[in-house]
Structures are given as structure tokens and as C-alpha cells.
A and B are shown apart, each in its own frame.
Chain A
Amino acid sequence: MLTDLLSETNRLSGQTVELCYHCHKCTAGCPVVEAMSYGPDQLLRMVAMDQREAVLSSKDIWLCAGCFTCATRCPNDIDIAAVMDALRQISLREGYQTGERDALLFHRLFLGVVQRLGRSHEAVMLGMFKVLSHTPLMNDVGAGLGLFLRGKVPVLPQRSGAGKEVSRIFKECQSPDNQ
């Protein structure tokens, strides 16, 4: 059974969203608000009003860069970045279509590589991102080549010796007890 979005968000984030009195400090300081549909403070209001569909399918929750400017400045001490994390998790779990498909793809590819190798590996991750994302294929090829020529994109992954342990930690975190 679905609970209302407000209590679910509060529970997952450890925050009290309804403390927001809409001073707009978060939205005024948000670096990516120009690209958003609503902005942080309006999103908090929509959570409080249980506008489930609009919130969970919004691109705003995927555009949040996690810079914590909002959380640092909020006069009511709401960790808005943590609220965004919670909303992303609910949105993913309930299978909402995101307006920012590539942001999600990037996170999934990144974690997929870490799960297998224990560390990130740019060459594999960037290659897969280029093929699977909606960004034009030739975008960033020049910059990627520049990094490669400066020895900054090693072709072979490092041996971390942590691969097995890290895969196990991923599995433990995905077990139903930890959801």
C-alpha cells in the first residue's frame, strides 16, 4: 500500500519537509535552477501537497547536482539535498520515467563498473555512456582524446584487490533487509 509522499520522504531522508516556510533561499542559491521545472522550494511544497506524479517524474530531482548549497543555507535546517536523494530513490523504485534519462544512466554505469572492479574505470564507463546515452555520439570526443593523450585515461583498469569485497558489499546493500 502506498503511503503519502510527505511521510515517505520524511522517513527516508530523516527531514521534516513541512518545516519549509518558502523563503526561497534554496532556490535563489541553486546552481541548476535555470534548467529545472520547479526549483527546490516549490518541489518541497509539492511533496507536502502529495503531488506524487509531478514530483517523482520531474527532471528536477535528477538535475540536483548535490552541491548542498540549499542544505547549508536553509534557515529551518532542512537538508534539501537529502530530500532530493529520497525522492530519487522513491522515483526509481516506483519505475517513474525520468526526464533526465542520461543522468540516471551515468549513475548506473558508474556503479556497475565499481561493483565489478572495486574502483572506477573511465575508459570503460565513458565508452559505454557515449554508446548508450542520448548525447550526440561525437560530443566530447576531442576532449576525451585530449585526456587520453595526456595519459589521463588508462586503458587497463587498476588492480585494486578490492573487487570481491566490493561486489559483496553491493549485494548486501541490495538485499531486501536493507531497502
Chain B
Amino acid sequence: MNYSYYPGCSLHSTGLEYGLSTRAVFDALELGLIELEGWNCCGASSAHALDHTLSLALPARNLALAQEVGYDLVAPCAACFNRMKSADYNLRSNPAIRSEVETIVGFQYTGNIAVRPVLAVLFEDYGVEAIAARVQKPVYGLKVVTYYGCLLVRPPEVTQFDDPEHPRVMAALMEAIGAEVMPWSHATDCCGAGLSLSRADVVQKLVGRLAERAREAGADALVTACPLCQVNLEMRQTSEPKMPAFYFTELLGYALGVPEANKWWSKHLIDPRPLLKSAGLTVE
């Protein structure tokens, strides 16, 4: 099965290991991932905050490129997914917006492709049992909480993925590779997102609370699906000991026996290797 791939700006920079591990997991599962040629930034929360039309037109250009290719568009970054899914939703449901954006971008919207997060592709198309059957190195002994943040699941009428209050998909995938997923109530709380630079104090408080609640739930690490959540969790925790965070694709890649997995851990600002070792996992 083939998919178009929208890495977005983060997966070439702060979310480097998310991009590397996503590609490795798709390779290991023999799923095709074809990077969209000439893609542009989705506008992120900045276009959304300042200019409504721009916040739809920038992602719509990527939809136009993906339409030409014809495969569903996979966006691992939660913010990119949200912006492109939101553009798709608006183009699909609002004729006035559609004709305005079509004119600006210079294309005809067909709606023949879907915008999807990696979690949805793995869960819906590949299946939890099929993934479990391919596990070579189960991550037994790793106690985690799954952390979605906001933009994968909200607003639900736009994202149409999992549940905005009690999501389950990531936990099912983590359990399939042998992780012990601890129940907690903060999976879709906000990390402070783009306020990280202008109001680091606010983000420190939110992230600190998340780490504290994860520890209370009995977890040793957080598992994320968003490069901004991940960087905030790693950069803005202030109290020791700091709790490591993984992209879910990194743990999947490790469990599927991807050899490069060992190169991802050193990309983290909070080194997860001591934890992996103490859980009895092989770390080179």
C-alpha cells in the first residue's frame, strides 16, 4: 500500500527522530511512503492565529499536490495534520470557501484523497494484530502513558480520529509491542504549544504538571505523536528527575527490530537510554 508523505518543517529539524522513525516503521511494514515533491509549510498556528484565508490556502496547496499523486496524505506532525485536515474539511463542506481557496491556489479540489495521521494508518489499515505479529523485540518492562496533545483529536468534527477525551489508538499500538500502558486522565491536555518561546513560564507549568501526573500514574516515560509536544516536554521540564519522552514510532521501530533505532536515542534532549537499559532493553 502506498501513501503520500508530508513531513512538514519539524520532521527535518526539531522532530528529526520522528521523521526517521516514521520512515523506518513504514519500511519495516512494507508500506510505501512517497514524499510530496515541492511541499510547503502548512502555516502552523501562526497563520491560524493571524489570517484565516492564508491558514486554509497554504495547506490547500499541499492538498493540490497530493491530489495529483492520488494516494492518501500522511502527516505525522499533529499540527500539520490538523491544518491540512481543517483545510480539507472546509473545502469539502463550504462551497464559498472552496471557490475562494481554489482561485488563490489555482487548482480544482476533488476530495479524492484523505489526510491522515500515522496512528490512523497503522491502526486502521495495517491493524494492531498484524503489527503484534511482526514484533521482534517486545518492550516488556517499559511503563508508559500515551500523550496525544490537542491537534490530533480536536476539534473532533474536523479531525475525525479517535476520541477527544479518551483516545485509545496509541495505547493499543503500544500494548501490541509489549509496553505496559498506564491509565491516566491527561492524554489530550495541552502542552502550551506555540507559547513555548513567548511564554516559557506558562509552558513550564503545563509540562511540569504532565510529567508529575504521568509519574503518579506509575509511568516511566511519555509517548507522543507530535513534534511540538515532544520538544516542549523535553525542553520545558524543570524539576528533576526529568521524565523521558518517546515518539510512538521510535518504540514501534525498536520493537519491529529496525537496526537504526539505536541512532535515535541520542537525538533526545532528555536521554532515554538509562531508562531503556533499566527496563532491560538492548541499547548499543
Measured CB to CB, the residues of A under 8 A from B are 12, 31-32, 34-35, 63, 65-69, 71-72, 79, 81, 85, 88-89, 92, 100, 102-103, 105-108, 110-111, 114, 118-122, 126, 129, 133, 135, 139-140, 143, 146-147, 150-154, 158, 160-162, 165-166, 169-170, 172-173, 178
Contact = CB atoms under 8 A, between A and B. Distances in A.
A35 B202 CA distance: 7
Interface stretch (B128-136, B149-157, B168-176, B245-253): B149-157
B150 A67 contact: yes
Contact of B40 (A35, A89, A165): A165
B150 A68 contact: yes
Nearest to B159: A68
13 contacts: A32-B206, A65-B45, A66-B48, A66-B49, A67-B150, A69-B150, A81-B155, A88-B49, A139-B200, A152-B267, A160-B40, A169-B54, A173-B51
A68 to B, nearest CB: 4
A173 B48 contact: no
Given A85-B48, A153-B13, A103 B195 contact: yes
A161 B202 contact: no
B200 A172 contact: no
B16 interface: yes
A111 B41 CA distance: 10
A114 B155 contact: no
A31 B206 contact: yes
The 8 residue pairs across chains A and B that have the minimum distance between CB atoms: A102-B198, A68-B154, A67-B190, A120-B9, A31-B190, A107-B46, A162-B40, A67-B150
Interface of B: 9, 12-14, 16, 37-41, 43-54, 57-58, 61, 100, 104-105, 150-151, 154-156, 164-165, 188-190, 192-195, 197-202, 205-206, 235, 266-269
A63 B16 CA distance: 28
Contact of B52 (A66, A85, A139): A85
Contacts of B190: 31-32, 65, 67, 69
Given A150-B16, A166-B61, 6 more contacts: A35-B202, A69-B188, A107-B45, A154-B13, A158-B12, A169-B54
Contacts of B200: 135, 139-140
A150 B165 CA distance: 35
Contacts of B50: 88-89, 92, 107-108, 111
Nearest to A81: B155
